[in-house]
Structure 1
């Protein structure tokens, strides 16, 4: 039986390198609501980059997990594996789309969480959470267009009568 995946794509109005670098830095999610980064480290090679995290529910420390980058192709693809079967494995793909980046997120739960109907429930939840996550990423990465104030029209003097 092949594992089904949740797959969604989003457009972020920022260059591919900017978006890719954001996803590669495990400390970028520090401060996200209900999410605490306990330890994070980036490696030069990409593979081996990790984050140790904990969920806080109503301010009370809850489940912990560990994510590690197991696949890496600069500015193209990241594969991440979690210690948590429910969090599972994630693949992130990046490609240029117009003036921005199309980022595709694929999620596969493992173990019991990968079996229907639990998988369907997890896919529904991860799709909704990915939208909230992308909204945060967009708020941080998308540049607001610079609106120049119109210059005042030059004053003309009335000719003396």
Structure 2
């Protein structure tokens, strides 16, 4: 993990002013309040092998986080956190048209403001989302004690880098 990526994700985590203890539902509720729009989590069945594990779809009124249902609960949670990280960073990336038609056949192009769907981690946006998702997962599984958010974030990063 590059120093600049680490700094970007640490700063973003600090800006979130996360509730404690943190859970995926509490993170979603917090982001809904901050963004002033609902977030709907939707399991997806029947995704083809090699396709995306998760997708963030932003319509004019709602953010949808779609995630693969044919995987473990821990992996589903990480997929959701990864997609929420894209939402937090407000990344923009197109989903391949074939996947869009397969997954969202009744949703017209004009109804969709942003769709994120990925199956590789080669882009800077993917590395940011994966790093932030890992930091969020760490925060969920090991909540910080009463230390400042900055020192807790630094402790999480040190743990990840060891």
Fold match by TM threshold 0.5: no
Whose strand proportion is higher, 1 or 2?
1
| Rg larger for | 1
Relative contact order: is structure 1 or structure 2 higher (C-alpha 8 Å, sep ≥ 6)? 2
TM-score normalized by the length of structure 1? 0.30
Whose helix proportion is higher, 1 or 2?
2
TM-score normalized by the length of structure 2? 0.30
